[in-house]
Structure 1
């Protein structure tokens, strides 16, 4: 029988994202963030392409993005509610790591596998931040899907897109547990 890492399994069974609106200072400094980024970069990566990278957004950059959301939202006809919600994501955050999917040409590795790897980095980063004692939340929203916004504000290339914004800080409160999936309804066992 394999040797279980019970502490990790307990963490995974009880992990809970902290709503971004409940995050506050302090946030991890560069020294505290590096082990979290290192853990996230250990994500499965078929072909060792590293089809992702990180952009660490500190408070001045987050304020700049919030202002850019307001301008972009108005220019693209977003509702005031959509603009306010997207803007608040950046205003409330003490620190954010944008995980950038970087599609790389490969005869061997399909684009979808590169997308899955970028998503796995987001979850690994989220879990590493939580395991390090920080509050963290993975968000996206319309700004992350607006190519012109991302190219202008984050300097993304044509082969790049935001896989997720991972907000990290100190949780001001711990939300109550939420309902989890019913495993019997989502699991199929095949024995032949």
Structure 2
């Protein structure tokens, strides 16, 4: 476990050194990162020497196995870190491309912006006029259908009134003679 901690410290120093190279004060930060890396390596060597002195009974095979395990673990950690660095670099590249595109869009001159604005206004106005025309056409069509339905309802009402009058008159014409006959024979 101690070796894994040392390896993590070394990898952290390497990453810090790499980031320092990309910053504004790159040389100074790189020198600081190199000194930190050297200090971490010295600490790792001292710790390894102390471990060898403390565990004289441990066989060489056991120490080699522990070292191989620590190296495998550090290799896995380095692979993970490299993958994460690649992912971050891709994200940074994507952001830089988006920033460049934004700069280009911002660089449009006032004339180009006015032309784009006029084009948008014309497009919106023509779409608005088209929609108003369609709406008026639909209103006319609905008004015509409504008038047709209203005419049919008026015709049906008139026909219904005629039928009711016809039934009333025919009822009266039939019931009056029947009433006289009933009164006459009774």
**TM-score normalised by the chain length of structure 2:** 0.22
Higher strand fraction (1 or 2): 1
Give the number of the structure whose residues are more often helix, by fraction: 2
Which structure has the greater CA radius of gyration? 2
Structure with the larger RCO, 1 or 2 (CA within 8 Å, 6+ apart): 1
**TM-score normalized by the length of structure 1:** 0.21
